[in-house]
Structure 1
Amino acid sequence: MIAIIQRVKHASVTIEEQVKGQIGTGFLILLGITHTDTQEDSTWLSRKIVGMRIFNDSEAKMNLDLAAVDGDILLISQFTLHASTKKGNRPGFTEAARPETAIPLYKAMIHQLEIDLGKPIQTGEFGADMQVSLVNDGPVTILIDSKNRI
């Protein structure tokens, strides 16, 4: 799994002109799932994300995690994170998991994040055409790949 984590002041996702999810301070997470991902990837990645200390403390140093700032999560599925751009100008998406694999793992990630964060999270809708708005705080953007742990 690949996660792009953006520290935000606020973020929202709109589907068919209706706001589906929105948060204030917290993380907007774009999640890419590949065909080799497992439940273990979502467990590891969730714990890594929730423990990320990328909020400023009183000395303006990144020392605080989501719990310390009472932050929220907006999780968006994004298969294009697994785009291959090696050949030509049209990306290939063969590394992105098919829905029958990706949907259960996306739901598992939602569940795991809620457990690890200790409260419900906001989400987009798997496979929907979504408009995502955010104010990136910092800007702080972090890429985590569950296949690259060492």
Structure 2
Amino acid sequence: MKAVIQRVSKASVTIKNKKVADIQQGLLILLGIEDLDTMEDINWLSKKIVNLRIFNDENNIMNNSLLEIQGDAIVVSQFTLHASTKKGNRPSYIKASKPESAIPMYEKFITQIENVLGKKVETGEFGADMKVELLNDGPVTIIIDSKDKK
């Protein structure tokens, strides 16, 4: 399971000219799921993201987590995070899970983030053509792969 997290001042997701998600200070989480991902990956990644100390404290040092600042979050499915570009110029997405297995994992991840954060998480729509707008704060962008946890 891969995630690209971006610390944002604000972010939103629009589908078919309708805003479906809108947050202020917090994290935009782009989530890629592969067939090898398990509930262990969901648990580890959700806790890691919510507790990652990337928000400034009173001394302007990145020392606070999303949980500590009680920030917002948007989770957006992003199968292209598992793109392989080894051969040719057309990326291969063979490692990305098919919707029938990815959607339940995506939904479990959202539920787990909500449980750890203690509040509702905004989302995009799995498989939809989404327009994601954000004001990256910092900029701070971090890539986390649950397969690198050991």
What band does the TM-score fall into relative to the shorter chain? over 0.9
- Establish whether residue 140 from structure 1 lines up as the match of residue 140 from structure 2: yes
Deviations 1:83-118 (A, max 9, x none): 000011110100000111100000000100000000
| CA drift at 1:55 | 0.4
Q: Which amino acid aligns with 2:110?
A: I
* 1:69-148 → structure 2 map (5 Å cutoff): 69-148=69-148
Deviation at 1:50, TM superposition (A): 0.5
Superposed displacement of residue 68, structure 1? 2.2
- Aligned CA RMSD, in angstroms, stands at 0.6
What is the identity, as a one-letter code, of the residue corresponding to 1:56?
A: N
Specify the code of the residue in structure 2 equivalent to 1:104.
P
Say which SS state the counterpart of residue 147 (structure 1) adopts.
Answer: helix
Alpha-carbon deviation of 1:73? 0.5
Kindly report structure 1 stretches of 4+ aligned residues shifted beyond 2 Å: none
Cα deviation, residue 69, structure 1: 1.7
Post-superposition Cα deviations, 1:53-95, rounded to whole Å, max 9, x if no partner, equal: 1000111110011122220100000000000000111101000
User: 1:49 matched to which residue of 2?
Assistant: 49
Give the TM-score normalised by the residue count of structure 1.
0.98
- Superposed CA offset, 1:4-48 (max 9, x none): 000000000000000010100000000000111011111110000
CA distance, structure 2, for counterparts of residue 66 and residue 22 of structure 1: 16
Distance 2:42 2:14 in 1: 25
Tell me, what secondary structure is at the counterpart of 1:120? coil
Residue 34 (structure 1) aligns with: 34
| 2:17 alignment partner AA | E
Question: Secondary structure of 1:28's partner?
Answer: strand
- For these two proteins, the number of residue pairs brought into alignment is 150
Q: TM-score, normalised by structure 2?
A: 0.98
**Matching residue of 1:7:** 7
